[in-house]
Amino acid sequence: MKKITKSLIFLLSLLVGMNCGNVFAQGVKVLNGTVSDPNGQSIPGATILVKGTTNGTVTDMDGKYTLSVGANAQVIVVSFVGMLTSEVEIGNRSQIDVTLKEETADLDEFVVIGYGTQKKATLTGSVTSVENDQVISNPSVNLTNSLSGLLPGLVAMNRTGEPGADSSTILIRGSNTTGDNSPFVVVDGVQNPPGWQRINPNDIESISVLKDASAAIYGARAANGVILITTKRGKAGKPTLSYTFNQGISQPTRLPELASSALFAGYVNEMMVRDGQDPRYTEAEIELFRNGTDPNYPNTNWYKEVLKDYSLQSMHNLSLRGGSESVRYSMSGSYSHQNSIFKKGVHDFKGYTIRSNIDADVNEYITVNLDLNLGLDDRSQPGTENPWGWLNAIPMMPVYYENGYPSAGIEQGLNPAVMTTSASGDHNTKSKRAITKVGFNIKAPWLEGLGMDGYFVYSNEDILDKRWRTPWTVYNYDQENDTYLPLRGGRITAPELTQSTQSVSSTFLNLRLKYEKQFGDHYINSFVGAEQTKGGNGYYEAFRRNYLSPTLSELFAGDPATQQNDGVSAESSRQSILGRISYNFQEKYIIDFNARYDGSYVFPEGKRFGFFPGVSAAWVMSEEFFKEVSGVNDLKLRASVGKMGNDRISPFQFMPAYSLGLNGYHFGSPTASQLGVVPGVTPNPNVTWEVATTYNLGLDGMFWNGGLSFTVEVFKQRRTNILTKRNLEVPFYTGLQLPDENIGVVENKGLEIALNHRGKPSAPGGLSYTVGGNIAFNKNTVIDISEAQDVPDYQKAEGRILGAGLYYQALGIFRTQEEVDSNPIYPGTLVGHLQYEDVNEDGIISSQDMIRMDKSNIPQITFGINGSISYGLFSLFANFAGQGGAWQYYHQNARIAINGLAELIENRYTEGSMDSKYPILPDLGTRTQPSGLQSTFWLQNASFIRFKTLQLSYNLPNTILEKLNLSSARVYLNGNNLFTISEIKWFDPEGDNERGAFYPQSRIFNLGIDLSF
């Protein structure tokens, strides 16, 4: 890290030195003036720059400036956020006052789309975007956790808060297939780059999401939507050196509350009596547990004893950007760190990134560019299994005895206080990334608007994984003899090491011929291009055990007799021809046509290519009917239809599959296994990609220069050719292993609404605010999928949503023996167990009574409410995000050796109870007991609203900046996941583990500073 930091500082210093010289060119004239708005109010902080140079200044608090310029200076460029940039000729004047006009709403902004940008006023597709200022307001280390509530149609589900593994699952308009639903991600033209989730938000310019036919330009990988991330590039102007530092503290959003010793002791007694045994604890002992007066009767809160109150995280970003009119550069380096919530825990994540780019104009017709992106992720976790499931240790057991010895925990020595430390070993994963991109852009001098561009990308990622597992020692206390008995924990008898390396590399080539021209009222923008990518990856794994010492974690030190190894390699390739034609008449009637002819290595020869077209059109009704109405800026009707593919399936399914191993054949006497091959799945010579046909209708409106704006979208996608097996349709006795076939069909329909209001200041520095909200609803339906013919309609997947589960319909709790005797029951049912509906009316409760329900943990509704206020040097931003139409099934159990949730045990059924909230609790982890079946009783509504982001910031005034020799400085406080409102109280409602055994999501409080020199 020190070497990287030193190199970064050296390069930044070098670039500063190379570009600062222009600032001190000899001045022969001094310009003075005032910059103001149309109302005559002065504008502090406006930038004045001599065109074509890096010589410039900013206005003071009164809007005044002084600037020394060279003899050859002809024009100054004056700019300010929210105002139109103005170019003013100097001439012979020394006093130049400038009035900046207000920017026209947001319609002149450009939005990033596939292979280019498009003016917001002429967008025809369903494209939503978010700018840098909202993304950086969230202190999350992982970019995917900053997007919730900001982009309608984007679903971000954060299932865990574990350092280094906390990426949210991203969906665009929900799920559309039983296969891979992940969107296609493009960063600065680089497709699906490794580690994109770790881009520092300060390096991001904008994020766009393509949700309809606008994504068809990406062909066979666009069916799940496309996310376009654009990072910052250098701009002409004086060098700007910026440094951002964030220091945060992280806490779990929600932790379960387990039963106390007294409560649990009563529960244990009840279980033993029900099983015909004597109670384990006397009333006197239970009272000792309750009052805590005797150290031999502890009441241990394992979560409190094993977890810290908070953990730390930090982020640094250092950047240098600037350049002249002909050469522009950007360079940044970032470092992030998260540590464990466990006391002495080894969970840890460190991330390092370097991003740099340079754009150089060779002449007025040729521009070249070079991008270099490096990254290193260093993640550590315990060498043993997931510790969260073992925090349910009984409260009568201390975490540590008074002499400091660790207790044995639940069973097999699985004490999470030890499991999460270096005593269990260490599982370290290092991911090293390098992406190089070189490109060019040529304008044809002989024909205005004609040009060619292209770029070449080389990407490489090396993943080094080392899992070192060691047994540890815990103790059981023999109270009778007052001795501590050692016990080996870890489920292994001696240290063992598994080490693997994986190397993934690819090359990518893009070439385009393009033409753009305005012919009076007619505008055309088009291109045709070609792409080719090749990739390869190799994997190697080695293993040894029976190490003599737990201190030497190298392969050579293990027992050679236990060594194992494995390895595999693969190659991939794609070829594409793509193009787009965009036309508009007076920016009133607009049409875009995208198409891609894609070829993928995944499919058999002769069937590798497919055509994926998309067309979208818009009618700007405000130009037709409301042109003379001053309050109407935009009213636009949009429609699109397109076909896209999804080729993210296992490759080479058209070829016969064989398994290679020692189970090939047997030979000799006595028989010995020999290396051989065994036939596998039957090949499918017709395998092809999934096809998504999308329809979208949208209406955009903007009034009073952005005072009010809205977008309404309705959409439908029909996904066909989904891979599924016919196994359920073929008798088992045939022994056939059928291949996946493209026979599945899913439809997805939905609605999206976004509404925003903006209040502008009456004078620079005055009160301004924004208020916005968005909501998205989608529901998918399985139209066709392979199912057995004898499955009853109420259990079929067809006609249900993706992920719909089978559940027993719980009717209540049996309160009397008469109720048990007079109703159909599940075998073993007692008074106090759950009662279920006999759906097939056969007189017994069995798996035939389970109903497939339209409930899954993928939300059908997502929404966001956000707003900002700025006044003077202060600003405030807030974002609420939430979900609806999501359900989470929980299977909770408690037994003599395993504690349970306090609410469950406290409100369980007890003998004679007629109003208990819960039945007799399951005591097994399996779904086999009458009250532990997968039923609607344990299905909980996972809807929630979360205070996702809050940021308060203060910009230091110019008087202080001048003294500190700074161009800008900002101090801020922000937070993430500050509170959550939900029906689920046991765990965080975004978690998807039915046992609740997951690293909880993080609540973050952060202090940051942003400096520019």
Taking the CA of residue 359 as centre, how many other CA atoms within 13 Å lie in the half-sphere pointing to its CB? 17
- State the burial class of residue 189 (Cβ atoms within 10 Å of its Cβ: 0-12, 13-18, 19+): middle
pLDDT digits (tens, 9 = 90+) for 716-752: 999 999 988 876 666 666 666 788 888 999 999 999 9
Locus of tokens 């007890």: 910
Q: How far is CA 479 from CA 188, 297, 360, 484, in A?
A: 67, 12, 79, 9
**Distance of alpha carbon 779 from alpha carbon 756, whole angstroms:** 25
Spatial CB neighbours of 743, under 8 Å, sequence gap ≥ 6: 721, 722, 724, 726, 784, 785, 786
Taking the CA of residue 654 as centre, how many other CA atoms within 13 Å lie in the half-sphere pointing to its CB? 14
Amino acid at 947: F
Q: How far is CA 364 from CA 54, 279, 441, 794, 803, in A?
A: 19, 91, 11, 69, 56
- Tokens standing for residue 291: 């009052």
pLDDT of residue 346: 92
Task: Give the three-class secondary structure for 356.
Answer: strand
- Tokens standing for residue 3: 């070497």
The pTM of the full predicted model, rounded to 2 decimals, is 0.88
Question: Which range (148-157, 335-344, 465-474, 623-632) has the least confidence?
Answer: 623-632
pLDDT digits (tens, 9 = 90+) for 711-724: 999 999 999 999 88
Q: Are 894 and 868 in contact (CB under 8 A)?
A: no
pLDDT of residue 674: 66
With b for 16 or more beta-carbon neighbours within 10 A and e for fewer, the 107-129 pattern comes to beeebbbbbbebebbbbbbbbbb
pLDDT of residue 931: 93
**Distance of alpha carbon 729 from alpha carbon 752, whole angstroms:** 39
Peptide bond just before 239 cis, omega within 30 deg: no
pLDDT digits (tens, 9 = 90+) for 123-136: 899 999 988 888 99
pLDDT digits (tens, 9 = 90+) for 860-906: 999 999 999 999 889 999 999 999 999 999 999 888 889 999 999 99
CA-based end-to-end distance of the chain: 24
pLDDT of residue 490: 84
pLDDT of residue 46: 83
Mean pLDDT taken over the chain: 89
The angle subtended at Cα 617 by Cα 614 and Cα 620, nearest 5°, is: 160
pLDDT of residue 21: 39
- Tokens standing for residue 537: 């990856």
- Tokens standing for residue 374: 């490096």
**Distance of alpha carbon 1004 from alpha carbon 948, whole angstroms:** 10
Kindly indicate the confidence band of residue 6, based on its pLDDT and cuts at 50, 70 and 90.
very low
Beta bridge partners of 564: 543
- How many C-beta atoms surround the C-beta of residue 929 within 10 A? 18
pLDDT digits (tens, 9 = 90+) for 230-272: 999 998 888 999 999 999 999 999 999 999 999 999 999 999 9
Strand runs labelled E in 901-979:
939-941, 944-955, 968-976
**Distance of alpha carbon 968 from alpha carbon 956, whole angstroms:** 7
With b for 16 or more beta-carbon neighbours within 10 A and e for fewer, the 778-794 pattern comes to bebbbeebbbeeeeeeb
Task: Give the three-class secondary structure for 134.
Answer: helix
**Distance of alpha carbon 170 from alpha carbon 337, whole angstroms:** 23
Q: For the chain, what percent of residues have pLDDT higher than 90?
A: 68
**Distance of alpha carbon 334 from alpha carbon 4, whole angstroms:** 11
Query: Computed from CA positions of residues 832, 834, 837, 841, in that sequence, does the dihedral angle turn out positive or negative?
Result: negative
Beta bridge partners of 644: 692
> What domains, with CATH codes, occur in the chain?
26-102 (2.60.40.1120), 110-234 (2.170.130.10)
pLDDT digits (tens, 9 = 90+) for 498-548: 999 999 999 999 999 999 999 999 999 999 999 999 999 999 999 999 998
pLDDT over 50 at 378, yes or no: yes
Kindly indicate the confidence band of residue 13, based on its pLDDT and cuts at 50, 70 and 90.
very low
Annotate 405-444 with three-state secondary structure.
CEECCCCCCCCHHHHCCHHHEEEEEEEEEEEEEEEEEEEC
Q: For the chain, what percent of residues have pLDDT higher than 70?
A: 94
Q: Are 137 and 879 in contact (CB under 8 A)?
A: yes
Length of the chain: 1013
